[in-house]
Amino acid sequence: MNTGRGTGNARRKTRVQPAQSPEAFLRSMTLVELLFALGMVALLGALLYPALRRSRRMADTAACLSNLHQIGIAVQAYLNDSNGLMPSLQNRDSVTNAAPAMDTILLTGTAARVFRCPADRNQIFEMTGSSYFWNFTVNDQDIGRLFSIVGGSDPTYIPLVSDKEGFHPDAQNRINILYTDGRASKELRFSTSLPPP
């Protein structure tokens, strides 16, 4: 007896739909859906941009501090070769100026790239040979009896090399500094005093 509810003949045939290609998917989106998706992408980009920018500034500051540390090592090597006398360097206003400078005396060739601060967007390095300023008040002084009007006689307060401009908005004073004790820091610490009598 066949009631029409059999198991074999009444099976429904199901079709497996092929996967949509990306082009077919985009064609099937409505204009409103597309605009909504683009708006969400733009919103996420706007939210992430400040964080990405801040992280890039922090990376530039860290790389700059590393450069200053490397310059400090070069100064120490110079002191070892000169019986403890500081070099006599100037801050050039142009790479065509033949005056002795950090990039011509301390490190040359490919190592001179440490004189370029990664946050130097004004091409000061390209124009002058260095993004950094040398404290010329310590020129030719004995490292053991060092004195500077800026910092006195305490090597932890005497700035030796600093950024030429405020390249680092995340630093309190916008600059990084190498002190004569070899410490590179974002913190500007100095005292002003007259030489001892």
**For residue 110, what pLDDT band results from cuts at 50, 70 and 90?**
confident
More confident of the two residues 155 and 164? 164
Three-state DSSP state, 192: strand
Percent share of the chain, pLDDT over 70: 81
Residue 164 has pLDDT above 70, yes or no: yes
Residue 12 has pLDDT above 70, yes or no: no
The pLDDT of residue 54 is 81
The rounded mean pLDDT for the chain is 83
More confident of the two residues 195 and 127? 127
**For residue 94, what pLDDT band results from cuts at 50, 70 and 90?**
very high
Helix (H) or strand (E) holding 50: helix 31-81
The whole-angstrom separation of Cα 118 and Cα 147 is: 31
**For residue 33, what pLDDT band results from cuts at 50, 70 and 90?**
confident
Q: pTM to 2 decimals?
A: 0.72
What are the backbone angles phi and psi of residue 38, rounded to the nearest 5°?
-65, -40
Q: Which of 15-29, 82-96, 134-148 has the lowest mean pLDDT?
A: 15-29
The pLDDT of residue 25 is 62
DSSP letter string over 57-84? Answer: HHHHHHHHHHHHHHHHHHHHHHHHHTTT
**For residue 107, what pLDDT band results from cuts at 50, 70 and 90?**
confident
Give whole-number Cα distances, 6 to 2, 12, 15, 119, 185, in Å. Answer: 7, 12, 21, 80, 86
DSSP letter string over 100-166? Answer: --HHHHT--GGGGGGGS-TT--S-HHHHHS-SEEE-GGGTT-BGGG--BTBTBT-TTT-EEEEESS-
